[in-house]
Structures are given as structure tokens and as C-alpha cells.
Amino acid sequence: MSTPATARSVALNGLEGSPVEIEVAVGAGLPRTVLVGLPDTSLYEARDRCRAAVASCGLRWPDALVTINLTPATLPKAGSHYDLGIVAAVLAAADLVPRERLAGTVFMGELGLDGRVRPVRGILPGLLAAHRQNLTRCIVPAAQAGEARLVAGMAVQGVSRLQDLVELLHGRPVPDPLPEPASGSDPVPASADLSDIVGQIDGKWALEVAAAGRHHLFLHGPPGVGKTMLAERLPGLLPDLSVTEALDVAAVASLAGHDLADQLPTRPPYADPHHTASVASLVGGGARFVRPGAISLAHRGVLFLDEAAEFSPRALEALRRPLELRKVTISRSSGAVEFPSDFQLVLAANPCPCGLAGTPGANCTCPPHTVRRYRDRISGPILDRIDIQQNLAPMSRASLRLAARTPAEGSDRVAQRVAAARERSGARLQGTGWTTNGEVPGPYLRKSLPLPDGFDLLETALGRGLLTLRGVDKCLRLAWTIADLQGRSPRADDVRAAVGMRRGDSEGVKVA
């Protein structure tokens, strides 16, 4: 029996990576291959793939008892990315390649039966974890070498065939293959500009306030009024991602199997799942390898639910805890998987099933109880988290004509005001752990920040039952953001404007 050989890889649980050692012993005994170390079904398939791949490149799988041990045994190990490490350790244990070449290198990649090296999910979070364990070299699928290079300080070697791996382990250079064309990547949304939208002054203002304070936003209005166009333009108003945020955004995308090419994202992501989306595609799930859902793909960006009332009650309910905790936990028999889900929510809904209720001059045919039930589909706990509810009305022909002649402000100008407002709120909230007004809880607003002129207005409304305490907090949060956008402290008219935004215009006037 020869000395065992060890290769390193990473087990992924959500964004968390843990080191895994693949130890292989080749010894006397009936020729067979045994895998130990709590592997899931996909690892048994790995054994068969590895044997076929080795045979396909003209090498012999050891004609002996091959024991493959993945440690630590207690760690659940899902995924198909252990193939490269398994083959490297088997070849080294059989003295077909020098084993010292395996030291300090992390292996991630799946093998095809024909010896091709296939892309896997989670290269970026896996290598970030490996780098924290002082592993500074990696061998990954050639198609993902760019993604691997996003990890600073990691020496990356891409391989496209098993033969390349064998060459590398012999110390012979393998030319870096040309990057393959991107596959399965989401197209970067075209940079839609706010100036594309004619009129809708109130809607644009609500969007600007939402962007500045990172407030969740609910757009109400009949079809065709521009709700989707507004939502799509929110990411364009937000500041660039920080490097830490970008790494998180990229790591989630990597786990979702998106092609990251070779650069970190700089702009906040945008996810707009359809109302028929399953709960798993919304919050994450999957049979073996747990994939992040839309709420995590929108992490540090915008999650837009169009026709929000059409989403299943289960899907809407599944948003509640992630909205509160900014992360989502998916329970599996093998343990819980956690993904970040710190998204800014934008909901859009028609006022009723036919979409015409409340539109002047239009004929809504929905019975009143249907309209009520339609509005109640978005549950209180979700509405509680939404600071801005904006009604959008169709524009009359005259106002459209007028608006078309007025040059509309572009996204870059608005984004500058948003950035300045964020700087103000960031400075005010320094040391609290929050950076935007949308995150600040009620007690802090009422007790630790100065109360603005006009607060008595809110107190009166509270006393008369026109506002709940939560409503008061929303108004305070919005008043701060409105004032931040003007570069000053909040005043009574900011409070009045906030009341209007919280509940659409008509109801706001009553309170103020």
C-alpha cells in the first residue's frame, strides 16, 4: 500500500465555504472504489464520472482498492465540483503524478465522461473561503478562470480537459485557453434613463426619495401608467456598489450559476421575478445544491414584483422574514443554508383585477368586495415595511403634451442628489450600524434624533387614530430623507410631504 495522497477543495453552504480534504489511499484488496465521508448522491456519481474521464484520456484507474475519504466527515458535501480534486488525489496516490504538486492548491471543477472540465457553481465564494485558509493556488474550469481571478492574491490555472490537469501536475505548462463565450449569463439590463419617462412628476419624486433613503416602495395605478418603467430606473439612481458589496453580489450570482466573466459588478443588481414564480425560485431552494432565489440575486439591489397582488399568498408570505432579517434561511434535511437578501423592494399593483378602479372616466366592472379583496392580498406585515405608497394616475392628453415639451431630468442628475442625500444620512447615522433612513427603526427616530417641526401634526393624527405609531415612524423616516435631498434639517412641510407619500396623495391631505 502506498502512502495516501491529499487534494483540497471546498464545501459550500450558502455563501459560506469550508475546507475539505480529499484523501485517497490505494491499497491491496479487491479492485473497487469506495467513497467515505458523508457524501450525498452526487458524490457517488462523481466516482463514476472520474473513472470514465480518467479512462478517456488514456490513463488507468488503479486496479486496486481505492479509498476516497472526504473530511471532515460531519460536513454536508453537495455539488459536483469535487471531481478535479478526486482525480488529482487518485492519480497522485497511484504515483501517476508527483503528489507534492497537490500541496497548497485548491481544486474545483466537474468532469464530463469524455474528460472535459465543466463549469461549476460557487467558484467565487469557494475560492474566497480557500484563500482565508491560506490556499493561494487553484485549478478551476478554464471557462471560469476569470471568475477565479476576482479573488485577490489567488494564482489561477484554468483547465479545459483532464489532460491539462495531468500536464499541470507533472509541472508542464498548459496554455491558458481562450475564454469561452459566456453562457447562461443574464443580460445586463440596458441603462434605462429617467428622462425616457414623460411626465409622472409624482412618481419620479417618489422614486428619488426611495433611492435616497433606501425606502421600500409600492406603486399603485392602472396598467400602462409607467409603473414598470419607473421601477426599472431605480437601480440607475443608486450609488455604485462598494467592493465588499460587489463581492457578495458576485458570490450569489456565482452560486446561481451566472457567468461572471472576469469583473466584479459595480452597479446594484435588479431582479424582477414573474408573478407565477415558485416560492423556491423566489427565496431559494433546489433538490441537491441549494440555489439562491430572486430575493438573493437582488441582494444590495432592487427586487421588483410587478402585479404584486397576483403573486401567490405563499410567495408573498415567504418575503416577510427576509425583509425583516435581510437574509434568508432555507432548511434542508442536511442542515440550513443561508443567503443574504438585503434588497430594496418595489411592488406594483393595479387598483383592482380589471385595473380601472379609481381612474376618472373609466368604467371598472369589478364588484366592490373583489376590489377590496384584491387590495388585501398584500398582507399587513409586508405593507408595514413599505414607507412609500405612491398612486400613479394616467396623464391627460393636455398634460402629456405639456410634459413632452418640457425637457425631463436625466438619471445622472437625480443620482447626484441621491448620493449627496446618502452622504448626509450616512454622516448622521455614523456609528449606529445603519447608513440609510429606510433602515432606521422607530424608537431611534423618535428618541435619538431631533424631532422636526411639524411633529405635532403627526401626534395629532396619531391621537385621532388617523395614523398608527408605525405610520408616524414612516413619516419621520421619509421627512428625514426629503430634507436630506434638500441638504438641510427636516421642516414642517417635509413632514406634510411625507404624510402624503406614505398613503398616496388624497389620504395624506386629510391628516395634514
Separation of alpha carbons 512 and 508, rounded Å: 6
Separation of alpha carbons 375 and 351, rounded Å: 7
Q: Check residue 309 for interaction with Zn ion (CB under 5 A).
A: no
* Residue in 354, 383, 393, 466 binding Zn ion, rule: CB under 5 A: 354
The torsion angle over the Cα atoms of residues 214, 13, 305 and 240, rounded to 10 degrees, is: 40
Whose CA is closest to 289, among 138, 116, 82?
82
Cβ 357 to Zn ion, closest distance in Å? 5
* Residue in 162, 207, 247, 357 binding Zn ion, rule: CB under 5 A: 357
Q: Check residue 5 for interaction with Zn ion (CB under 5 A).
A: no
Helix (H) or strand (E) segment spanning residue 386: strand 386-391
CB contact at 8 A, 413 and 441: no
Q: Check residue 143 for interaction with Zn ion (CB under 5 A).
A: no
Between 366 and 449, name the residue whose CB sits nearer to Zn ion: 366
Cβ 393 to Zn ion, closest distance in Å? 15
CB contact at 8 A, 124 and 250: yes
Cβ 306 to Zn ion, closest distance in Å? 18
Between 375 and 385, name the residue whose CB sits nearer to Zn ion: 375
* Residue in 54, 64, 225, 352 binding Zn ion, rule: CB under 5 A: 352
Among 29-37, 123-131, 285-293, 359-367, the segment contacting Zn ion (CB under 5 A): 359-367
Between 392 and 479, name the residue whose CB sits nearer to Zn ion: 392
- Per CB under 5 A, contacts with Zn ion among 117-136 are none
* Residue in 57, 198, 366, 420 binding Zn ion, rule: CB under 5 A: 366
CB contact at 8 A, 162 and 54: yes
Between 373 and 385, name the residue whose CB sits nearer to Zn ion: 373
Give yes or no for a cis peptide into 179 (omega within 30° of 0): no
Q: Give the contacts of 64 (CB within 8 A, at least 6 positions apart).
A: 26, 27, 28, 29, 31
Among 191-199, 266-274, 350-358, 382-390, the segment contacting Zn ion (CB under 5 A): 350-358
Taking each helix axis as running N to C, give the angle between helix 123-132 and helix 243-255, from 0 to 180 degrees, rounded to the nearest 10. 120
Cβ 220 to Zn ion, closest distance in Å? 13
The number of residues in the chain equals 512
* Residue in 128, 212, 364, 511 binding Zn ion, rule: CB under 5 A: 364
- Residues of this chain that interact with Zn ion (CB under 5 A) are 352, 354, 356-357, 364, 366
